[in-house]
Chain A
Amino acid sequence: MARRAPAVAVGVGTLALPPLLSGSHLTVYILLGLAVMVTVGLSLLMGYAGQVSLGQASFYAIGGYTAGLLSVHSLPPVLGLLAAPLVSAAFAVVVGIPLLRLRGHHLAFATLAMQLILLSLVARADWAGGAIGLQGIPRLSVGGYEFADDISYAYLVWAAVVLTLLVARNIVASRPGRGLRALASGETAAAASGVPVGRYRLAVFALSAAFAGLAGGIYAFYLGYLAPGSFPVLLSIEYVVMAVVGGLGTLWGALVGATAIILLVQVLNTLGTQPGMPGYAPSVLSYAVYAVLLVLVVIFLPHGIVPAVRARLTRRASSGAV
């Protein structure tokens, strides 16, 4: 029970937060939740399957466009929201079968290529709004209830984050999850102990895509507008930064990493838009913060913030006992 206490506290705390937040802070809350969802999936992929994806924003985009396109063609929005993770995961399976034969930096570049191809295809697809974007996406409604204001989206995101974390946690704790942990410690060893390595890698890839797709679907309804420019390569890199900084393969790591970075960028953004600051200040500051955090963490805390803090707490607890 005591082990669960931090999770419950964070859950209750974040649940109580939305009514206290002003408009722009509520937007940060929502975008932060969406980033957590994508990062949880990427953290599993990088932590367990040991593979870097520089194209995670493509799954976010596919989820967004799936939800957006279905609902602008007057299908019930809720159907679009449900389809978003499914289509993203299906796409991940289709591209993952050839791509996941690659490893390391080859896979990193292949996923980057995947995203660049996807973006330019979307930019040329008139049926998806082309480079101008997809306009007029209706607000999400379930049954008779319409998610009209930001607070309702904040709670929707909260629920989606909890769902993502629960699914991820159950998968990690399940029998296949133990196989995944074997995968993390080495493919050859995992294969030798009977883990179907290829299928597991594909499954984690698809799962990470599903999380990103769901987040993208919510994003589409929240913003009501999508364009290829909303999903730059830099966004994929930002997710990598969040996952690495928090600590790969840990759910808390994804949560902490995404939160720390989004809030930090937000603070710097506020700072950068102060009167007197040059026009380029916000982008310079955010590039610098992503870069510096990533590099410092990889060099000095190679396992990420959360595992480092945990190790320190354990050490303190055991030295206290002696």
Chain B
Amino acid sequence: MREFLQYLITGVGSGCVFALVGSGLVVVHRVTRVVNFAQGSFAVIAAMTASTLLASGLPHGLAEASAVAVGAGAGLLVGLVAIGRPGTPPGASLIITLGLAVFAYAVEVLIWGDQPRSFAGVPGAVEFGGVRFQAHYLLIIGATAVVFAGTAALFARTDIGRALSACASNPYAARVVGIDIVRMGLLSFGIGGALGGLAGVLVTPIQLVTFDYDVTLIVGGFAAAVFGGLMRPLHTLVGGLLLGVAQSFVAGYGNAAYQMEVALVLLLAVMMRQAARAPAAEQEPA
């Protein structure tokens, strides 16, 4: 029982990270129909930025917040290249973001080298139900809860959120009422960058981050997002948590080396199930 709780908590923690990356994919995809392959890079860039800022003496909180802002800026830049030119089809934008993810490698290695980075998170340990775990997990879970609630409120209750939803719902009608859909798309990339950046600064204290850690994050994040059809943030949260917990149980009761496979097999299974239910013609073209 005690082991179970331990694995559950660590699983929820890493699940939150996947959910954050996945929700970034969802926000961008909802508004622009682009699957942003560079979503994992925002997390890596923010993680590296935070480690540098902390090392240079910036206090905790400020360093992480600045890193998230850098993530948002990176998101905006990716958006500018991917959708800034009118008429770029979503399929081409996927390839462009793939290229930008590789470009991020060049930037990351140039600035931070190819060695893994980490920094301390919330210090100390917490005891709960007879289980001790790093207090940092509470921050991950709390921050994720706040961010998901905030994103839901943004989309449901603000004019900007309605305009973002409108671009997703009917781009032509959005233009008719005077919404600048390119600007909204860029905003969604910025939000996606911030969500990815947050995932990065939250995960670094519990996981060494190297420049190519984006592959793990994008696969996990995409698996979470696919759970909600790349459209629904709450399903993405559920998908991310399921994935994190499943990985943690496989690692705990089985073999830690199989964590990545859990994500991959879950991803394939969810996609197959969706493909079996929806006819091919209804899926997104390439």
Chain A contact residues, CB within 8 Å of chain B: 50-52, 54, 98-99, 101-110, 112-113, 116-117, 120, 124, 187-188, 233-234, 237, 240-241, 244, 280, 283-285, 287-288, 290-292, 294-295, 298-299, 302
Contacts and interface: CB of A to CB of B under 8 A. Distances in A.
B92 A105 contact: no
Interface string B238-274: 0000000000000000000110110011011001101
B264 A101 contact: no
A291 B100 CA distance: 6
A284 B286 contact: no
A299 B80 CA distance: 12
Contacts of B265: 117
A294 B99 contact: yes
Main secondary structure of the interface of A (DSSP, over half): helix
Interface of B: 35, 81, 85, 88, 91-92, 94-96, 98-100, 102-103, 105-106, 109-110, 113-114, 215, 219, 222, 226, 257-258, 260-261, 264-265, 267-268, 271-272, 274-276, 280-281, 283-286
Main secondary structure of the interface of B (DSSP, over half): helix
A274 to B, nearest CB: 17
Q: Kindly list the 3 A-B residue pairs having the minimum CB-CB distance in the complex, ordered from nearest.
A: A291-B103, A294-B99, A287-B106
B103 to A, nearest CB: 3
B260 A295 contact: no
Contacts of B96: 294-295, 298-299
B94 A108 contact: yes
A103 B274 CA distance: 11
Contacts of A98: 272
A103 B98 contact: no
A292 B219 CA distance: 23
Contacts of B261: 117, 120
A299 B81 contact: yes
B76 to A, nearest CB: 16
A102 B271 contact: yes
Contacts of A120: 257-258, 260-261
22 contacts: A50-B286, A98-B272, A99-B268, A102-B275, A103-B280, A103-B283, A104-B285, A105-B284, A109-B219, A109-B222, A109-B226, A109-B267, A116-B264, A120-B261, A233-B215, A240-B98, A283-B105, A287-B105, A290-B99, A291-B106, A292-B99, A298-B95
Contacts of A106: 226, 271, 274-275, 283-284
Given A280-B110, A280-B114, A284-B109, 5 more contacts: A120-B258, A283-B109, A284-B110, A294-B98, A298-B99
A108 B98 CA distance: 11
A103 B230 CA distance: 14
A303 to B, nearest CB: 11
Contact of B280 (A101, A109, A240, A302): A101
Nearest to A50: B286
Contacts of A103: 280, 283-286
Contacts of A105: 35, 94, 284
B104 to A, nearest CB: 8
A161 to B, nearest CB: 25
B276 A240 contact: no
- Greatest chain A CB density within 10 A among B85, B88, B105, B113 is at B105
Contacts of B267: 109-110, 113
B219 A112 contact: yes
A102 B271 CA distance: 8
Nearest to B112: A280
Nearest to B259: A120
Given A109-B222, A284-B110, A302 B103 contact: no
A294 B102 contact: yes
B281 A188 contact: yes
A234 B114 CA distance: 15
Given A103-B285, A116-B219, A280-B113, A109 B81 contact: no
Contact of A302 (B92, B272, B276): B92
B94 A291 contact: no
A252 to B, nearest CB: 20
A287 B88 contact: no
